[in-house]
Amino acid sequence: MDAAVLVAAGRSARFGGPKKEYRPLGSGIVLDAPLRALLSLPTMGKLALALPPGGLDEARSLLAPELAEEEGGRLVLVEGGAERSDSVRLALEALEPWSPETVLVHDAARPWASRELCLAVLDLAREKGAALPVVPPVDTMKRVDAEGRVLEHPSRASIGAAQTPQGFRFAPLLDAHRRAVADGVSSTDDSELWARYEGPVFTVAGERANRKITFPEDLEP
């Protein structure tokens, strides 16, 4: 069985106004789209949706009715933590009783990830242990210091922008998160924790359309 963690526990501080995952998109809200995409995968067993502390009732009231009805079946609502990594760990722990083999971790602020991308990440994660989509940068990249001085001119061929969903073997990912808590390590990216505690991470081709909603203009066509 596969599982998924959908992270929607942030405060949307940079977005401003109402929480971005609850903004209108299509015939529903932003959060509806990634939920539908993940639940439609043929091997998807359970999905843990990480929400702001105290925010479960609000999410229930805003979700499309057929998605809200999934709660108690395939959908598990989880109160997240102070940081993204806390929210992912809490969601993984909520899924642990079902012992999934592989898990996708996806940011709800990326509502346009295709079914094909999700399946490609899952397939590679089953084979290699950890996988994520990356897209090549359009701009020439520079590494700079705190004073704005250019330190390095990395080749674009060696640089990729990470996206979600990221896929992992379930038990080692949960173990990596627990070890990170014990070590006082925080991360905004699950593949960093996997690389630190478990081993190499492999990539699939990402999608330009799989952009992340950060500012209000990101919702524009």
For residues 76 and 49, the answer to whether their CB atoms sit within 8 Å is yes
Spans of the chain below 50 pLDDT: none
Cα(206)–Cα(53) distance, integer angstroms? 31
Please give the domain boundaries of the chain with CATH numbers for all domains: 2-212 (3.90.550.10)
What is the rounded distance in angstroms from the CA atom of residue 16 to the CA atom of residue 6? 21
| Confidence (pLDDT) at 10 | 80
What pLDDT shows up at residue 18? 73
What is residue 12's predicted lDDT score, i.e. its pLDDT? 55
pLDDT score, position 221: 63
Look up the pTM and report it: 0.94
Taking the CB of residue 170, how many other CB atoms lie within 10 A of it? 22
Alpha-carbon distance of 170 to 49, in angstroms, equals 16
| The two three-digit tokens of residue 77, written as one number | 């609502």
Q: d(Cα 44, Cα 38) in Å, to the nearest integer?
A: 7
Tokens of 187: 């991360």
Minimal CA–CA distance to 48: which of 106, 101, 92, 98? Answer: 92
pLDDT of residue 14: 55
